[in-house]
Amino acid sequence: MEDKIKLWGAGTTRTLRPIWMAEELGVDYELIPIGPRTGETQSKEFTDLNPKQKIPFLENGEIRLSESLAICRYLEYTFPSNKIFIPKNNIDRAKEDEWCSYIYGEIDETTLYVMRRHYDLKSIYGDSPIVVKACREHLKKNLEIIDDFLKDKKSILDKGFGLADIMLISCLDWAIYYEFKLPENIMSYRENIKKRSAFKEAMLKNYKSSEVLNSGTT
Average pLDDT, integer, range 146-167:
97
Task: Report how far residue 181's alpha carbon sits from residue 77's, in angstroms, rounded to the nearest whole number.
Answer: 35
Domains and CATH numbers, the chain: 5-84+201-206 (3.40.30.10), 90-196 (1.20.1050.10)
Q: What is the mean pLDDT of the chain?
A: 93
Rounded to the nearest angstrom, the gap between the alpha carbon of residue 197 and the centroid of all alpha carbons in its chain is 17
Residue 181: burial class (beta carbons within 10 Å; 0-12, 13-18, 19+) = exposed
Rounded to the nearest angstrom, the gap between the alpha carbon of residue 111 and the centroid of all alpha carbons in its chain is 14
Lowest-pLDDT range, 26-30, 38-42, 83-87, 152-156?
38-42
Half-sphere exposure at residue 98, Cβ-oriented, CA atoms within 13 angstroms:
9
Indicate yes or no: pTM above 0.95.
no
**If you ran DSSP here, which 8-state letter would residue 196 be given?**
-
Average pLDDT, integer, range 4-25:
96
Q: Determine the 3-state secondary structure of 57 from DSSP.
A: strand
What does the pLDDT look like over 161-217, one tens digit per residue?
999 999 999 999 999 999 999 999 999 999 999 999 999 999 999 998 544 434 444
Share of the chain above pLDDT 70, in %: 94
Rounded to the nearest angstrom, the gap between the alpha carbon of residue 216 and the centroid of all alpha carbons in its chain is 12
Q: Is pLDDT larger for residue 217 or for residue 112?
A: 112
Question: Angle at the Cα of 150 (from 13 to 188), degrees rounded to 5?
Answer: 70
pLDDT level of residue 2 (50, 70, 90 thresholds): low
Question: Angle at the Cα of 20 (from 17 to 169), degrees rounded to 5?
Answer: 60
Half-sphere exposure at residue 174, Cβ-oriented, CA atoms within 13 angstroms:
33
pLDDT at 120: 87
**Which is nearest to 65 in space by CA: 109, 112, 22?**
22
Residue 60 φ/ψ, nearest 5 degrees: -140, 85
Contact 9, 55 (CB under 8 A): yes
